[in-house]
């Protein structure tokens, strides 16, 4: 089965690196993606897509991107389910990020690092 996602947008909030109890780096963030169409006399709608990156990809993202940075990511869609302490069933969809790319070229004086 095929499960691949590619997104181009802007980082919605500055990513903050976190660590698991086993010291694995991770970051949760959102990408703001404008829809391709707009209704007459209205602004274009924006979707905020939740994402999660692990280990070196998370470290790279936190080191080189901040709120508003253009970004291109590839990964896979994941659906996580759990029960709350009250017994309610919850679900969350997010993109598990495999690769991160700069969404715009950088100047010659400040060359872009390699992708992760």
SS3 56: helix
pLDDT of residue 104: 82
Q: What's the mean per-residue pLDDT of the chain?
A: 90
61 Cβ contact list (under 8 Å, min separation 6): 15, 27, 29, 53, 71, 97, 100, 116
CA distance 110 to 33: 26
pLDDT for 115 beyond 70: no
pLDDT for 111 beyond 70: no
pLDDT of residue 106: 61
pTM above 0.85, yes or no: no
pLDDT of residue 110: 54
pLDDT for 109 beyond 80: no
């Amino acid at each position: 089965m095929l499960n691949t996602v590619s997104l181009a947008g802007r980082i919605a909030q500055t990513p903050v690196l976190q660590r698991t109890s086993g010291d694995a780096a991770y970051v949760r963030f959102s990408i703001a993606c404008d829809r391709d169409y707009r209704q007459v006399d209205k602004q274009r709608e924006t979707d905020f897509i939740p994402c999660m990156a692990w280990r070196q990809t998370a470290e790279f993202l936190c080191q080189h991107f901040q709120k508003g940075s253009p970004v291109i990511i590839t990964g896979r869609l994941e659906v996580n389910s759990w029960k709350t302490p009250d017994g309610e069933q919850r679900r969350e969809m997010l993109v598990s990020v495999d690769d991160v790319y700069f969404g715009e070229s950088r100047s010659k004086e400040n060359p872009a690092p390699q992708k992760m």
